[in-house]
Amino acid sequence: MVKPKIFYHFRLYHFRLDSSTVAKNLPVTKFLLPSTNSRLISLFSQSTFGGKQLRNQMKKPKIMKKTLLLSIAAVLIGFNSFAQWMPQTSGINNFITSVFFVNADTGYIAAFGGTILKTVDGGTNWDPQSSGTTIDLYCIYFENADTGYAVGDVGTILKTTDGGTHWNPQTSGTTTWLAYVDFVGNTGNAVGGNGTVLHTGNGGTTWTIQYTGTNTNLRQVSFVNADTGYVVGGTQYVAGGIILKTTDGGITWTTLSNNVYNLLFSIVFTDVNTGYIGGGDATVANILKTTDAGATWSVIPNVPGGSLRRIFFADANEGYAVSKLGEIIHTSDAGETWTLQQSGTAQFLFSVYFTDVNTGYVAGDSGTILKTTNGGFLEGVHEKQQAGSLKINPNPATDKISIALSEPGTSPDGTIFVYGTTGQELIRQQMHGSPIELNVSILPKGIYFIRLTTSEKTGFGKFVKE
């Protein structure tokens, strides 16, 4: 006897875990509302076995229970398959404060308790290094494959010249905590509490304290060349940020802004003129941008997420930032717009580093290390592909949008998918003819991605719902 083949056909229902109401089937256009406010579980209510339909009766408790368990399993499997920031095993539970890579395979981590970890296989394994201290470390930086520095509490500065095998203490001349260190060749600068800036011109053999004119806590220093560098910091969240600049390698510093912006934690430049600062108040993210070497700074509107702790750009356009709420945000247009990515964690994230535009690492509390190899995008929602292949009007939109193919002569018949910023599919609708009108009034305010799949090609677009 030949066993019948098993086929599964699913009809989608929505079930709120906090309600006993099951929504009606949506046969043509399917809306899967985001699960931020009310957790939604997809219930598969219709199946075919050997050609015979067996419709589940949702009112039967036993059937409902089995279906719910199956759905939860499906959601968990789906989450793992979509998650593009994958956890790595650090082997520690300490707060990780800094991650740095010298090439695609070799990287380092600094953490509380004097912890330094090293990987030589792209983060698959992290091995502890002997730092010689139990003092909390806040930053690790490598000038090349062999020479690196780590700074931390009570003026701690460590140096290695053999790729982290041995770490030797240096005399900093201060007992103030040091938050960050940056080098260009043998010239380096470290910043920290109470307006502290330390400068060395000989690879850290000696460090001298520089006058900054402020006692504000300084959080990060970044140099664009041997002469020009910037420092950001702040002591209070609201209007407590400060920006300093040097043009002589860190010997003297001038104040560009003080007590204008909220607390500023991180700064990065993509060229000598273009730079970004990340920070925020106690709950809201702020990003500043300059295109004139810090003479003026503009506040980027509508940055999602909580207060940012580190910002990093993989190239001139692709940037990332992490927040204390476990959030990762991304830009692909040189910081003009930012969207949330699915981090899969609620841990305090403190550091981010990319070795190329696709491969990156973030780290934070409780030994958390996350890695991506595709820029952090969820499957099917790669923002890099979404520039100009679809014409969407109006944009921003309030209730309806018109979608048309930007290339003439392409078949207009296909399927439209609308995704949220974390990759969840929200709308699916068949498209016949171009342009097509799509009702988006049910969507909350935010940024959404559109994918149009036809027999000939796949087009992408992005729109804002107001």
> Three-state SS for 81?
helix
Token pair of 370, please? Answer: 């996350």
What was the pLDDT predicted at 342?
83
What was the pLDDT predicted at 34?
37
Q: Name, in order, each residue with C-beta under 8 angstroms of 287's C-beta and a sequence gap of 6 or more.
A: 276, 277, 278, 299, 300, 303, 308, 311, 321, 335, 338
Q: Decide the pairing of beta strands 52-55 and 446-454.
A: unpaired
Q: Which residue bears the tokens 């899969």?
A: 344
At residue 123, φ and ψ (nearest 5 deg) are 90, 0
Angle at 275 between CA 319 and CA 104, to 5 degrees: 45
What was the pLDDT predicted at 418?
87
Q: Which residue bears the tokens 């000939």?
A: 456
Q: Mean pLDDT of successive 10-residue segments in the chain (466 residues)?
A: 34 31 32 33 26 32 40 36 77 98 98 98 97 98 98 98 98 97 96 97 96 96 96 94 96 95 97 97 94 97 94 96 95 92 91 96 98 80 50 90 71 77 76 81 87 72 85
Token pair of 156, please? Answer: 């701690």
What was the pLDDT predicted at 414?
79
> Three-state SS for 66?
helix
pTM: 0.70
Q: Please answer whether residues 220 and 179 qualify as being in contact, where contact means their C-beta atoms are separated by less than 8 angstroms.
A: yes
| CA distance linking residue 181 with residue 138, whole number of Å | 9
CATH number of 383-465: 2.60.40.3080
Q: Which residue bears the tokens 């550091």?
A: 351
Report, in this order, helix, strand and coil percent for the chain, each rounded to 5. Answer: 10, 45, 50
Q: Where are the domains of the chain?
A: 6-82, 86-372, 383-465
Homologous superfamily (CATH) of 86-372 is: YVTN repeat-like/Quinoprotein amine dehydrogenase (2.130.10.10)
What was the pLDDT predicted at 46?
26
Dihedral, CA atoms, 97, 100, 106, 108, nearest 10 degrees?
-30
Q: Which of 53, 51, 50, 54 is nearest to 1 (CA)?
A: 50
